[in-house]
């Protein structure tokens, strides 16, 4: 049997117009802004894969807010001509009182 981790989400966090499930005690970086920036720049996921060499695996990890390499983040910033804050958001490990409800 493999080592599967069950993700227990304890609260929701608002990031822009989206809600992201987060785990208490776990700081995380989410990539919801990436999809907004892609849309604003008129760049599709297909174009990222075919013209810029971003792997489907990396895009899948970005969609799931999983770990991605700094190389990938750097490449995305170069492709989109943007700052890291335009594609990623840091969510601290402690939710606000409003978010715990």
pLDDT per residue as tens, the chain (101 positions): 444 444 444 545 554 555 555 555 556 899 999 999 999 999 999 999 999 999 999 999 999 999 999 999 999 999 999 999 999 999 887 655 555 55
Number of domains in the chain: 1
- Looking at residue 96, its pLDDT comes to 58
Residue range of the domain that includes 57: 11-100
- Looking at residue 71, its pLDDT comes to 95
- Looking at residue 58, its pLDDT comes to 96
Question: Is 6 domain-assigned?
Answer: no
- Looking at residue 91, its pLDDT comes to 87
DSSP 3-state of 25: coil
- Looking at residue 52, its pLDDT comes to 96
- Looking at residue 28, its pLDDT comes to 86
Euclidean distance between CA atoms 4 and 39, whole angstroms: 34
- Verdict on whether the full-model pTM lies above 0.75: no
The CATH number assigned to the domain holding 43 equals 1.10.260.40
In this structure, what is the dihedral angle of CA atoms 75, 81, 82, 87, given to the nearest 10 degrees?
-50
């Amino acid at each position: 049997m493999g080592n599967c981790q069950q993700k227990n989400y304890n609260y929701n966090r608002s990031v822009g117009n989206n809600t992201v499930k987060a785990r208490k005690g776990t700081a995380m970086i989410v990539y919801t802004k990436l999809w907004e920036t892609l849309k604003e720049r008129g760049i599709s996921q297909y174009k990222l894969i075919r013209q810029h060499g971003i792997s489907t695996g990396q895009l899948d990890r970005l969609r799931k807010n999983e770990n991605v390499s700094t190389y990938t983040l750097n490449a995305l910033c170069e492709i989109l001509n943007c700052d890291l804050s335009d594609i990623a958001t840091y969510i601290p490990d402690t939710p606000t009182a409003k978010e715990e409800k």
